Structure 1
Amino acid sequence: MTLPVTIQQTSCCAPGAAAALPVAEAERIARLFKALGDPTRIRLLSLISSAEGGEACICDLTDPVGLSQGTVSHHMKLLSDAGLVTREQRGKWAYFSLADGALDAAGEALRQV
């Protein structure tokens, strides 16, 4: 005896494009996590956050990470562009501090994905 076969017409995948992040927001979040994806940049953030007053001069960041000032400046530019740190020029030296709410914003960005 053969059992009847029922074929049901259903969509296998519901379109989710309406709930997807806008392109600009996805690019912003990617920049943020790209900046956080380097161990040196994570160390730089740690050094800044643990520094007295929550800020550090670029001159104080080179020795702990063992890199030249130019390389550290490049890393700091990426962190700044991602909105993780703020930069203040004082004479010839740049001072960096964590941007207000930057790490909380990184956590929120991850929850959006």
Structure 2
Amino acid sequence: MSNPRSLLDVVATPCCAPLTRSPIGETDAERVAAMFRALGDPVRLRLFSNVASAEGGEACVCDIQDVGVSQPTVSHHLRKLREAGLLESERRGSWVYYRLAPSALRVMSDLLAPVDG
């Protein structure tokens, strides 16, 4: 993907009105599609869920990598989730810890929220 800005920057900024309120613009559609595309893979969705449901809000890769694929494949999928702005990571010694990007769920849920009234 050749966006000039990082998708992590995009997730940190407000995105779009709910789809039921107004049509989404081209730029916002591309940004949000990258997030949903990243979650469109079953392995990535499982990894994202493992991190999201981890006690304390973060998980060591050593605790979430049992998703039926090799360790290099897990690393590839986690990188795709980070690039899409869904996860953040921090290296501590020889392990990497993951947590949800602060606004990732809010961006997706706001976009899909029904309009009240």
Q: Same fold (TM over 0.5)?
A: yes
Unaligned runs of 5+ in 1: 1-18
The CA RMSD measured in Å over matched residues stands at 1.8
Residue in 2 that maps onto 1:56:
59
Per-residue deviation at 1:108? 2.4
Q: Rg: which structure is higher?
A: 1
Query: Counterparts of 2:72 and 2:112 in 1: how far apart (Å)?
Result: 31
Residue in 2 that maps onto 1:96:
98
Query: Counterparts of 1:86 and 1:109 in 2: how far apart (Å)?
Result: 21
Residue in 2 that maps onto 1:30:
33
- Asked if structure 2 preserves the Cα contact closer than 8 Å seen for 1:41 and 1:76, the reply is yes
Per-residue deviation at 1:91? 1.7
Query: Counterparts of 2:60 and 2:32 in 1: how far apart (Å)?
Result: 27
* TM-score, length basis structure 1: 0.70
With over 3 angstroms needed to count, the CA separation of the structure-2 counterparts of 1:109 and 1:78, relative to structure 1, is farther
Query: Counterparts of 1:50 and 1:26 in 2: how far apart (Å)?
Result: 27
Instruction: Using CA pairs under 8 Å that are at least 6 residues apart, name the structure with larger relative contact order, 1 or 2.
Output: 2
- Structure 1 stretch 26-35 or stretch 102-111: which is displaced more? 102-111
Identity of aligned residues (%): 52
More helix by proportion, 1 or 2? 1
Q: How many residues align?
A: 92
SS at match of 1:95: strand
Query: Counterparts of 2:112 and 2:53 in 1: how far apart (Å)?
Result: 24
Unaligned runs of 5+ in 2: 1-21
